[in-house]
Amino acid sequence: MNKLLRTLAISLAAAVLVPGAVIAQTLGFTTLPVGAINNIQAQVIAKVVQGKTGMQVRVIPVSGTTATLAAVQNREAEFSISNIDNVADAMRSEGVFSTLPKMDNQRLAFKLISFPIGIMVRNDGPIKKIEDLKGKRFGSGFQGFPNMIPLSNGVLAAGGLSLDDTVGVPVSGLIPAADDFKAGKTDGTNIALEAPKVKEVHAAIPGGVRFLSMSDTPQALAAVQKVKPEYGIMRIEPGPRFAGVLEPINVLRIDLMITTGGHVADDIVYRFVKAVAENKDEMVKGHPIMNGFFPERMAQQYDTVKYHPGAIKYYKERGIWAGS
């Protein structure tokens, strides 16, 4: 029995042995290890669902994105959390999932939040728009975080560029890339706007940093979606949450999804989604990042990944289903 199954078995045993416990199906909810933001988000969701439905939800940390979705694929868990592009890659057997069989059991439950991703440069430097990055130093390789390659290409595409148009500086991952930028080894770096590292770099560089704005034309969006069909473009307004956003800008939109499996009963998914949709206040109490969750947007449509029928049932009742 593998570690994940042992965890589930222990959870089930605990539910039976606790005096007075309500015997209910225990739902596995896989996520990245403790310390990751999506682990915190999963804990908040699990608490709300369990409190509002009585269903037992056990958050199960695993080693990485492929493992979180593989658990659902293999029917070892009922729910998971992942970026939409990773879910689609898992179903297509592409990207970091290219060496694995297609994970065709993946279904969407709901969109949780949208992450803004952009390229930061020195505020007092010569780079004013994405096109100015041509021939400039930029992180490359990303062996420890290969997802940074399509993310970077997604932003660059809005300016008609790709990583091939920059001077590559080998780096292992996201945080080392930000450190290289802070040290002056690169001219720009791609990062989530709300990452704590942004404020650190902003404070360390004289004059601070500035995020470049992407074009928001149909042509730019088409170029971005050639990188990943699930990518989008979103508008960000200046505010205390965003160091380096000095005026309204457009950045890459990455949707964070709660996923489920085709094997999960419709009623379970329906109750899970309903509990989250109708208790945003409880979600926000769990963590302020949940302020970015909007129930009216949780049925965001994609061409590449289907929603679970149990989720669709709730969205139709609420009047927010735009799919076929």
For each of the chain's 324 residues, which pLDDT tens digit applies? 454 544 444 343 333 333 333 345 799 999 988 877 888 999 999 999 999 999 999 999 988 788 999 999 999 999 999 999 999 999 999 988 999 999 999 999 999 999 899 999 999 999 999 999 999 999 999 887 888 999 999 999 999 999 999 999 999 888 899 999 999 999 999 998 988 899 999 999 999 999 999 999 999 999 999 999 999 999 999 998 899 999 999 999 999 999 999 999 999 999 999 999 999 999 999 998 899 999 999 999 998 899 999 999 999 999 999 987
User: In the listed set 232, 254, 276, which residue is the last one of a domain according to the structure?
Assistant: 254
Residue 19 counted as domain residue? no
225 and 311 belong to one structural domain: no
CATH of the domain at 303: 3.40.190.10
For the segment 251-297, what is each residue's pLDDT rounded down to a tens digit? 999 999 999 999 999 999 999 999 999 999 999 999 988 999 999 99
Task: Say whether both 230 and 275 belong to one domain.
Answer: no
Rounded to 10 deg, the angle between the 309-318 and 266-277 helix axes is 40
Give the global pTM: 0.79
Counting beta carbons within 10 angstroms of the beta carbon of residue 53, is it exposed (0 to 12), middle (13 to 18) or buried (19 or more)? Answer: middle
Is 309 contained in some domain? yes
Q: Are strands 106-122 and 209-211 parallel, antiparallel or unpaired?
A: antiparallel
Domain limit, last residue, from 254, 272, 303 = 254
The one-letter amino acid code at 11 reads: S
Q: Total domain count for the chain?
A: 2
132 within some domain: yes
Residues 122 and 221 in one domain: yes
Domain region containing 139: 115-254
In a domain, 297, yes or no: yes
CA-CA distance, 137 to 169, in Å (whole number)?
6
Residue 2 in domain: no
Q: How many CA atoms lie within 13 A of 105 on its CB side?
A: 19
The closest of 319, 258, 265, 267 to 290, measured between CA atoms, is 258
Number of alpha carbons in the 13 Å side-chain half-sphere of residue 6: 4
Q: Do both 152 and 224 map to the same domain?
A: yes
